[in-house]
Amino acid sequence: MYLLYTIFTSLAFFFVFKRMKRRRYCTDLTRLDGKTVLITGGNSGIGKETAIALAMRGARVVIACRDPDKAAKAVRDIKFKSHSLNVSHMELDLANLRSVREFCKNFLQTEKRLDILINNAGMPSVLDWTDDGFSMCFGVNHLGHFLLTNLLLPRLRECAPSRVLTLTCSSYKYQKLDFQDLNYNLLPFFTYCRSKLANVYFSQELARVTEGKGVTTYAVHPGFVQSGWTCHFSFLFRILMQVVMWMFFVPCEMGAQTVVYCAVSDEAAKHSGGYFVDCRPATLRPFARDSGVAKKLWEASERLVKLA
C-alpha cells in the first residue's frame, strides 16, 4: 500500500514538473548568412546555447568574455556543435568600463559588421563592487551593457535593420529603482532584481532613441534556466539549487529559445522596445513601462559612465 502511494505521488510530481517545464521552441527558421552577432558572456549557459543556435543559422558569431581560456574552449565547443567555423572570441570585462571602451575600439576595428547585439552576460545576486566602484549587479548587468551598446550603436545603424537584445528576468517586478541609491548593494536578490529592472527600462529607452533608425530592441526573460549561475555561491546553496533546478528549471537550450526568437523573427520586430517571454511578447507591470523613469535612468547612466 505504502509503495503504491509512493509510486503514485512520484508520478504525480513528475507530471506536474514536466508540465511546468514545458516551453515553446522558436519555430522561425530564418537564416542569418552574412550577418554578424555579438554575444556578451557567450562562454556559458544561455549565451553559449544562443551562440550555437545562431552560428547554425549561418551567422558569424563573436562572443565577448572576461576569461580568454574559458572563451577559447567555448569557441571550440560552439564550432563543433554548430558545424560552423565562423566563430571567435574577444576579451571584455563588463565590470570595468575601461575594458568596455577598449573592447569596442577593437571590435569596431576588426569586425566590419554588427547586425545583432545580445547583452547576455549577467551577474546573479552577488554583493560585490566593480573596478569602477559600482555595485556588481548594477555595474555589470546594466552600466557595462549601457556603455557597450552606446559605443556600438553607430555600427548597428550602419548595418540596419539591426537588433539589440537585452537579457532581463521576470523578477524585475519585485523592486523599484531608487535614484538616490542606484548602487544599492544590501540584499543580494534585490540588487539583482533592480539591475534586471534597469535592463527593462534601458531596452525601452533604447527603442525610443533609435526609433526610425533601423535598430529594434528586445528585453528577453529566458525563463528559469539550469545554467552556471550558481557557481558564485556556497557549496551548500549549490547542492540545494541543483535539486531545485533539476525540478523546476529548463535546460540552457530551452532558455535560449526566446533569445533566438527575438534575434530572427519578423513577428518580434513589430514590437520593438517590447518584453518577451516564451517566444512571444509579454506585458510589463505598469511601473516598468514608465517612460519618464526610463529616460531618467538613461540620463543618469550617461553621467555614471561618462558618456558625453
Ligand X SMILES: *[C@@H]1O[C@H](CO)[C@@H](O)[C@H](O)[C@H]1NC(C)=O
Residues designated catalytic = 192
Residues paired with 63 in a beta bridge: 39, 89
Q: Does 45 bind ligand NAP (CB under 6 A)?
A: yes
**Within positions 93 to 132, which residues make up the interface with ligand X, using CB under 6 A?**
113
120 binds, among ligand NAP, ligand X, none (CB under 5 to 8 A by kind): ligand NAP
Specify the residue, 113 or 208, whose C-beta has the smaller distance to ligand X. Answer: 113
Q: Does 155 bind ligand X (CB under 6 A)?
A: no
Q: Which span sits near ligand NAP by CB under 6 A: 210-218, 222-230, 261-269, 288-296?
A: 222-230
Cβ 266 to ligand NAP, closest distance in Å?
24
What is the distance in angstroms between the CA of the first residue and the CA of the last residue of the chain?
Answer: 73
Q: Does 88 bind ligand X (CB under 6 A)?
A: no
Looking at residue 138, its amino acid is F
How distant is the alpha carbon of residue 286 from its chain centre? 22
Instruction: Kindly give, in sequence order, each residue whose CB lies less than 8 Å from that of residue 2, ignoring residues fewer than 6 positions away.
Output: none
> By rule CB under 6 A, what string of x and - marks binding of each residue 4-43 to ligand NAP?
------------------------------------xx-x
Taking Cα atoms as reference points, which of 126, 124, 97, 111 lies closest to residue 39? 111
122 binds, among ligand NAP, ligand X, none (CB under 5 to 8 A by kind): ligand NAP
Cβ 124 to ligand NAP, closest distance in Å?
7
Q: Does 115 bind ligand NAP (CB under 6 A)?
A: no
- Torsion on CA atoms 244, 282, 43, 56, rounded to nearest 10: 120
Cell of 59: 551567422
Taking Cα atoms as reference points, which of 6, 11, 57 lies closest to residue 30? 57
User: How does DSSP assign 127-156, residue by residue?
Assistant: --B-TTS-BHHIIIIIIIHHHHHHHHHHHH
Cell of 292: 519618464
Specify the residue, 159 or 276, whose C-beta has the smaller distance to ligand NAP. Answer: 276
Cβ 279 to ligand X, closest distance in Å?
24
Q: Does 94 bind ligand NAP (CB under 6 A)?
A: yes
Residues within the interface to ligand X (CB under 6 A): 34-36, 59-60, 86, 113
